[in-house]
Amino acid sequence: MPSDSFSVAMVICVAVLVLALAGVVTLYLRLRGRLGQARGQLAQTRQAQDHLTRESSAWSQRLLQAERKAKENADLLREVRAQHDLLRVETDHLISKRIPALLSHLRSPHVIVPGMQNQALAGTDLDRQHRAILDALTRGIRDETERIDEAAQAIIRGAMSRVQTQALRAQDLLAGVQQRYSGDEHTALLREVLGLDMFNELIIRRMQVTGIACGATPGLSRDDTYLVDLVVGAVSRVENFELRIEGPANHLRRRIGVAARAAESILFTTAELLANAVHHSHGTLKVTIAVHETNNGAAIVIDDAGVGLNEDQYARAGRLLSGNHPVRLVDLGNPPRTGWAAIGRQVAHYGMQVTVKKSAFGGVQAVLNIPTALLVEMPEDTRPSVLAPEPVRAVAPAATAIRREPMAAATAVQQGSTAVSAHRPEPVAAHRPEPVAPSVRPQPVTAPQPVTAPQQRQAEDLAPLPQRRRQSPRSASSSTTTTGDHSDGTGGRLLTTPEEAQKRWGDFQAGAEAGRREALPTEQHDITEGK
């Protein structure tokens, strides 16, 4: 029994142990399962934490990138604002400073156009764009200015042509009045007519210079003419020439003339240079003129003792007188000084040359060089007009005295003296001291004017022609005979001896000179090219 009880107890103990072990195993398994679950959850938690960490890092990086971009954008915004301010400042500088300076530069080349206000922008795209704007503006202004200037010159050419035609008609009318009223009883009328004639001549020359400066032609035509005759004609176109101009001195040794196509242009150019020299010289100072023969043609030299020119004025004179640079009306000043511009056009057209430099008298020496292509050899059966001076070395002392005496005679007549010189007066003192020959007297292009009878009689009275010597044997009989046969064609009229004609013409010339001096004002009105 006892062994059975022990066995049962042992069995019970073993069962209890087995149950306990089973419970422990079961608990262990449960704990292990829970531990696995906890480990899984822990792993998931770690994964989640890692994910969150990674997400956090990404957001941090994104935040940093955003902060950097915001900073960069702020810097870029500040830079853009600074560039905008610079652009606005430079644009204001372009509008307020550079464009007005450019307009002034186009009028006066010495004005400097400023550059960029901020020198750090020089050479940048902004600088190039502003330069492109200024260049386009310059081209537009120049094109429009040239168009307007050409239109203005065309209007002036047309107006000067019409007015010059009327002035030439008035000149013909005045010449007819002088011829009809040339007697001693019309002395007062002749004085007025001579003054009007001189003023009309000055008006014609001013219209000529204005028209030529605008591209017109001189408007007068000539035949082949002696060069010295052209110089004498140019002298007569200057106001108060008998008091202000000394000469011309003729240094020519041959019968040099000027071709018809260039005769009036050379006369016009010489007259303008003389008027310019006279205008800028003191009233008591003489302007000298001489004609020389050169290896390449001929030269007309004009010297004055006036105020002279400075370096800038010499440069401007050389530019205008060369005729190689286009000249606009706005470049001639206000009022326009058209003398040099007109001379430059003629010089460029005919291949002449005009140079100016300081003269030995402290003024200006102007030299007109005439090329051989414009010169001709005058025929042997022709001679210069009676007003043309003889060559300097060919004039005898007696002839020189004869030429000097008439001026004193004219002065004596003006002062009321009744004595008249026995010799003929100085040709330059004549009422119209232009050459009397048909080839020298300027005529309108449309209607050449023939030589009139009074002009022929003047040439016969003044020129030392053979007719005078042929008439001298008849002087005794003509002076003593009151009536005679009419077979000589005189119709019973008394023949005028050369001595009587000379005396009458001398009286007329002296009186005309005195009348002209009274009719013309003493002040200068002949404003040509300014120095």
pLDDT tens, N- to C-terminus, the chain (531 residues): 556 677 777 778 778 777 777 778 888 888 888 888 888 888 888 888 888 888 888 888 888 889 989 999 998 898 888 888 888 888 898 999 999 999 898 878 888 999 888 888 888 888 899 999 999 999 999 899 889 988 988 998 899 889 988 988 998 998 888 888 877 778 888 888 888 888 888 898 888 899 998 888 888 888 899 999 999 999 988 988 888 899 899 999 889 999 999 999 999 999 999 999 998 888 788 999 999 999 999 999 999 988 888 888 899 889 899 888 888 887 787 888 888 999 999 999 999 999 999 988 889 999 999 999 999 999 988 888 888 888 886 444 444 444 444 443 333 333 333 332 333 333 333 333 333 333 333 444 333 344 444 444 434 443 333 333 333 443 333 333 333 344 444 444 455 666 666 667 667 766 666 665 555 544 444 445 544
Q: Is residue 72 part of a domain?
A: yes
Burial of 411 (0-12, 13-18, 19+ CB in 10 A): middle
Domain with residue 274: its CATH number is 3.30.565.10
- Same domain for 244 and 280? yes
Show the tokens assigned to 457.
Answer: 């009689």
Considering just the CA atoms, what is the radius of gyration of the chain in Å?
Answer: 53
Q: Is residue 47 part of a domain?
A: yes
Chosen domain end from 87, 111, 135: 111
- Same domain for 153 and 72? no
- Same domain for 177 and 238? no
Determine the structural domain holding residue 228 and report its residue range: 223-377
- pLDDT given at position 365: 93
- pLDDT given at position 452: 41
- Same domain for 290 and 194? no
Confirm if 444 and 165 have CB atoms less than 8 A apart: yes
Q: Is residue 531 part of a domain?
A: no
Q: Is residue 504 part of a domain?
A: no
Chosen domain end from 166, 190, 216: 216
- Tell me the CA distances in angstroms from 331 to 108, 307, 335, 341, one per residue in order: 8, 23, 11, 10
What's the CA gap between 343 and 459, in Å, rounded?
Answer: 32
Confirm if 242 and 428 have CB atoms less than 8 A apart: yes
- Same domain for 235 and 331? yes
- Same domain for 17 and 103? yes
pTM above 0.85, yes or no: no
- Same domain for 251 and 348? yes
- Same domain for 33 and 158? no
- pLDDT given at position 342: 92
Q: Is residue 140 part of a domain?
A: no
Count structural domains, the chain.
3
- Same domain for 203 and 231? no
DSSP 174: H
- pLDDT given at position 374: 93
- pLDDT given at position 516: 57
In which region does residue 443 sit, left (phi positive, over 0), alpha (psi from -120 to 50) or beta (all else)?
A: beta
What's the CA gap between 462 and 386, in Å, rounded?
Answer: 6
Q: Is residue 349 part of a domain?
A: yes
Question: Residue 314, CB half-sphere, CA atoms under 13 Å: how many?
Answer: 14
- Same domain for 18 and 102? yes
- pLDDT given at position 466: 33
Q: Is residue 336 part of a domain?
A: yes
Chosen domain end from 332, 350, 377: 377
- Same domain for 262 and 331? yes
Q: Which residues contact 428 (CB under 8 A, 6 or more apart)?
A: 232, 235, 236, 241, 242, 245, 387
- Same domain for 241 and 371? yes
Confirm if 241 and 275 have CB atoms less than 8 A apart: no
Q: Is residue 500 part of a domain?
A: no
